[in-house]
Structure 1
Amino acid sequence: MNDNIKKQERRVFVQDEHCPIRNVVAQIGDKWSLLIIFALVDGPDRFNALKSRIEGISQRMLTQTLRDLERDGFVERTVYPEVPVKVVYELTDLGKGLAKPAWGLVSWANDHLGDINNARVAYDRAD
């Protein structure tokens, strides 16, 4: 190796609240969060309507993920004092801001799904 070539600095990913990947990206990169965010891009919705639109999610998981998204400021929960009580979930401005770049990732994944599947098949054959 040439001594004149400087060693490239490598990022260190610390495990604390200051690491955006561990703190934010891991949360929204779970199995359900982006699906809920994209479902709410269409507008506010009630719990059961969301559950019916996100195949495979359990009531417990939808409840927990909505709470996590609300805690992080991506989703707002509004309770209307009616009989029966009406609860509506909608994206906050922060959630809408997240949906835009996240859609870029989803679009990329859609465009490259065939390539990824081919790579997986080739990898699995090599084992």
Structure 2
Amino acid sequence: MKFFMTENGFSGDLPFGELAVSTNEEQGFRPYQLLIASLAVCSAGVMRKILEKQRMPAEDIQVDVKEIVRIDEEAGRVSKVHLHFLIKGKIDDSKMPRVVELTRKNCSMVRSVENSIEIVETYELV
């Protein structure tokens, strides 16, 4: 990956297109938004694979970011993220605690921040 300075922030020319990053969300994605998106989508993708392996394929998974806590005194550091998964399909609710545990264990983005950001995962079967 390579990023270049622009008038409003930075831009990356990535395999699937240009990624505009800026501290002004009218000019591009804010860095913390990309961090949260990485945590949410990585977790949901891992959860999807685990459900498939357990023969409970999800028809749909949505992730609602319920809470983001930032510490202003520490340069706006993200200290907590609450990810709430809305899962549609024939899912055995009794197996979900283990699915959530395996998701956390196998999501590289969550593992990358596990000692600095509190990640809370909840789910709802719809």
Task: Give the TM-score of the pair, scaled to structure 1.
Answer: 0.26
Whichever structure has more helix as a proportion of its residues is: 1
**Higher Cα Rg: structure 1 or 2?**
1
Task: Give the TM-score of the pair, scaled to structure 2.
Answer: 0.26
